[in-house]
Amino acid sequence: MADKHKDGDHHHSGDHGHDHAAAPMVDEISDFEILELAVRELAIEKGLFTAEDHRAFSEWNDARSPAAGSRMVARAWTDPAYKARVFDDPLNASKEVGVDWSEPSGFGTTSDYMHLTVLEDTPTLHHVIVCTLCSCYPRPILGHSPYWYRAPNYRRRIVRWPREVLAEFGLIVPPEVELRVEDSNAKSRFMVLPVRPEGTEGWTEDQLAEIVTRDTMIGIAMPKPGRTTDGPRPIHRASRPVHSGGRPTEAPK
Amino acid sequence: MSGESVGIQEQTEGRYVDLRRIDLLESIQDEDQTWAKLAPRWCVTNPEPPWKVCLDATCDCLSAGGALDNLERRHAEDELETVYSAIPNPERQLLTLAHIMVSRGLLTEEELARQISAVRARLEAV
């Protein structure tokens, strides 16, 4: 009979056979894994950056997730004083949920300028964010941007046909609700503070944070009870890709 | 061959990057080795490969050190989207980064080929 003991949070059986299955891993070396390592090592060898720089940025990147943003929204929903700070001083409000925008260098990263604006949705006003220039995104508080956010197709179309594009994501914004698309610029980052949904009365901050997903803080989805994850989003390839600073590729004659 | 693909292949000079195909990177486009194929094959549910964090860190380091500004890299990535359209992200992001670095002379194709061989030998050593 297995004699169970506990090492920290990790349970073992007495015969050293684990009583739970280890998470599966990819036991295969891909060309892409090799390429990533080769590029990185060459860059270090050439002095473009140091291994220490890379370690610091890797740790920073690894710690990014939308969880901090979710916490910020949930707390704003339950604490009016905190909500006021979210709008008045969002960087300090970020610190209260564990995010220091000055990390990892002391002045942020070169693509995460220390300027955040939180956009408040109301029952008659809905916001959605984009970066038409490239893919500016509030990484410190929301983690890494999804690929569709970076795709030229989204960046180009959301500013021209916002209601139609949101409908493609499954979000129908009623005509009586004003829609504002906020375009990030070189030094400004935005996130959406959505409307707290009905049916969440009496919920704790933890419960509320679970339904504040990444997509609800971008503005392409609404939080609602029971919806705790963002489903995969389709990436529509442009039939006529637009090149930066240039004209659209000529359509076939 | 369609008119559109002719138009794309004829375009070799982007504003931010040379769009000509690089033989070495053309040889690293096995879709079967992308995370989208690898992960389900090994029953892994993580949506991104472990090396994605390192790739993002490399991009940040290159920008912080002044070698390759993040905004310029993003513009170049947009221009290269059609060149690597057969490969999904994040593999495409990696290929475009390597392409941009070769195109801008931050490393040569020969150096990269040599390093790939060295890394492969190291990782596959038993």
Distances (CA, A) of B74 to A17, A76, B29, B71: 48, 33, 21, 5
Tracing tokens 């180009």 back to the chain, one arrives at: A156
Q: Count up the domains in chain B and report the number.
A: 1
CA-based nearest distance A106→chain B, Å: 12
pLDDT of residue A248: 43
Whether pTM exceeds 0.90: no
**Residue B62 belongs to a domain:** yes
pLDDT of residue B58: 97
pLDDT of residue A252: 43
Q: Between chains, do B98 and A246 touch, taking CB under 8 Å as contact?
A: no
A240 compared with B82, residue with greater pLDDT? B82
The encoded tokens of residue B86 equal: 């057969």
Q: Within chain B, which residues score under 70 in pLDDT?
A: 1-11
Concatenated DSSP letters of B59-106: HHHHHHTTSS-HHHHHHHHHHHTTTTTTS-TTHHHHHHHHHHHHHTTS
Count the Cβ atoms, other than its own, within 10 Å of residue A96. 16
pLDDT tens-place string over residues A212-228: 999 999 999 999 999 99
A96 compared with B31, residue with greater pLDDT? A96
**Residue B7 belongs to a domain:** no
Distances (CA, A) of B30 to A218, B52, B77: 33, 18, 20
Binding residues of A for Fe(3+): 131, 134-136
Judged by average pLDDT, the poorest of A19-23, A78-82, A111-115 is A19-23
Coil, helix or strand at residue A207 = helix
**Residue B1 belongs to a domain:** no
Domain residues for the domain of B57 are: 13-124
With a cut of 60, say whether residue A177 has pLDDT above it. Answer: yes
The whole-number average pLDDT for the span A81-110 is 91
With a cut of 70, say whether residue A8 has pLDDT above it. Answer: no
- Asked if A110 has any chain B CB less than 8 Å from its own CB, the reply is yes
A50 with A40: CB under 8 angstroms? no
**Residue B30 belongs to a domain:** yes
pLDDT tens-place string over residues B91-124: 999 999 999 999 999 999 999 999 999 999 999 8
Beta bridge partners of A5: A12
A185 compared with B18, residue with greater pLDDT? B18
A241 compared with B60, residue with greater pLDDT? B60
**Residue B80 belongs to a domain:** yes
**Residue B71 belongs to a domain:** yes
The encoded tokens of residue B9 equal: 């292949």
Domain ranges of chain A: 30-62, 67-218
Give the Cα separation of A139 and A104 in Å (integer). Answer: 12
Residues of B in contact with A236 (CB under 8 A): none
With a cut of 50, say whether residue A4 has pLDDT above it. Answer: no
What percent of chain A stands above pLDDT 90?
Answer: 65
B104 with B68: CB under 8 angstroms? yes
**Residue B6 belongs to a domain:** no
With a cut of 90, say whether residue A114 has pLDDT above it. Answer: no
**Residue B5 belongs to a domain:** no
Task: Name the CATH architecture for the domain at A67-218.
Answer: Alpha-Beta Complex (3.90)
Half-sphere exposure of A220 (CA within 13 A, CB side): 24
Q: Count residue pairs from A and B with Cβ separation < 8 A.
A: 184
* Nearest CA-CA partner of A130 in A168, A157, A170: A157
Catalytic residue, chosen from A58, A65, A105, A134, is A134
